[in-house]
Amino acid sequence: MLPPLILLAVCLIDYISALPPTLHKRASSYVALPFSTKRTSSVQKRDSDALSAFDSPLERASSLYYIEVGIGTPPQMIDLVLDTGSSVIWAYSAGVASSCSECGSAYYDPSESQTAIDREDLGVLNISYGSTNGVSGFYVSDTLTTQDTSAQDIVIGVATHAAKGDPQGGIMGIGLPQNEPSYLGYGIEYPGYIDQLQAQGLIGVRAYSVYLNAISATAGMVIFGGYDSSKWLGDLVGFPLIEPSPDRQFDLDVAAPTISLSLNGQTWEIPPSTVPYTVTLDTGTPISRLPQTQVAAIAAALGASLSTSDSEVYTYVLDCGLASSAGGLSFTFADVSGSVTITVPYSELIMDGSSAGQCMLGMWGEPDDTENGNFILGDTFLRSAYVLYNFDDMTVSLAQANWNSDCEDCIQPL
């Protein structure tokens, strides 16, 4: 039996309005940060040899989303992966070159910053991505500059050791503070980036919205303390975060959606998992990971063939021509007060492969009882959604992404 789930939500959320109640409040400002896409190896976040060792066309076709930041005074410019699935900001020091020559060439050196302060009180930086990947080092606090906004006293992990396959540049983790490595390892919690933005008067609400844009696009945007209503279609519907998640972590989890598939005028309802589960909405994971019973049903409907299988992960290959087919996967999130459906077209779900005519299905199957019922909707889903994460209300709001907006002045503060 699953451990009890604590549903954290505020009362009186108007789930069926076009805008959740928070969006009717007004702060004086927001911080809007564009990000760019880069082809890269995917970051592994589950402790699985099969995942961390997985070398497939899917990884080579994966993209991550990078924000250019300046760390320190004067700013040292580095590109960091935008990651809602983790809660620490970290960058490489030059010392990682001996252990990971592929990790990039832009480094952060606290000794060259006038504003860096050692944070031995937070313990040792130690983060794992699967069983073979991860970084270790130490913590400092320093100024973090993004665009024309500078925030002081931001905790930065300085990686002195890394492994092949770790992301280039580093990570900008913007998840819940209860998921910080210092809290998980030592019980020490510190204010995250969004907490400092609010404390320093740069935003009014601890919330941010994410618009990844289509897979063919080269840029998207994250807005701290604000939103862009031109970037979604229909209603933006709020759902309570489920904290802790079934795996006892404080991820950005919501209750699992129901899934349907349409192709060539036919529609299939995908059977539910054998175990109830939640999903983490994670920008730092290029591929979605769902219960194998559901992924197998999707693969069968699409005529996909099993490519890799063991006791931990199942991957599929299929005809690349399906990417131009009409239809897609529809994910319906529902609460007693409302629902929203996010449709992911096949062009976003089918990823380039290395063999002529063969592509990869942009989702992996994992055993239904993996992580005690916690799975991931990564970028293959999130590109089709507009997502508002609200730490003050402990909600996530979702709407269908609008890829055809050209409005240049539609951002509003929360």
Residues noted as catalytic: 83, 282
Alpha-carbon gap, residue 193 to 158, rounded angstroms: 16
Alpha-carbon gap, residue 247 to 128, rounded angstroms: 16
The residues, ordered by sequence, that sit 6+ positions from 294 with a Cβ below 8 Å of its Cβ are: 259, 270, 271, 272, 273, 365
Cβ distance 381 to 284 under 8 Å?
no
Alpha-carbon gap, residue 222 to 69, rounded angstroms: 13
**Cis peptide bond upstream of 291, omega within 30:** no
Q: What is the identity of the amino acid at 255?
A: A
* Euclidean distance between the first and the last CA atom of the chain, given in angstroms as a whole number: 39
Alpha-carbon gap, residue 237 to 398, rounded angstroms: 5
Q: CB 206: neighbour CB atoms within 10 A?
A: 19
| Residues linked to residue 363 through DSSP beta bridges, in sequence order | 288
Residue 161, phi-psi category: left (phi > 0), alpha (psi -120 to 50), beta (remainder):
beta
Beta strand spans in 147-283 (E): 149-161, 170-173, 207-211, 219-224, 226-228, 232-242, 253-255, 258-263, 266-269, 278-281
Kindly compute the dihedral angle of the four CA atoms of residues 47, 52, 56, 62, in this order, to the nearest 10 degrees: 80
For residues 22-36, one letter each, b for 16 or more C-beta atoms within 10 angstroms of the residue's C-beta and e for the rest, the string is: bbeeebeebbbbebe
Alpha-carbon gap, residue 141 to 155, rounded angstroms: 4
| Distance (Å) of CA 348 to CA 8, 218, 351 | 32, 14, 7
Query: In this structure, are strands 170-173 and 89-92 parallel, antiparallel, or unpaired?
Result: antiparallel
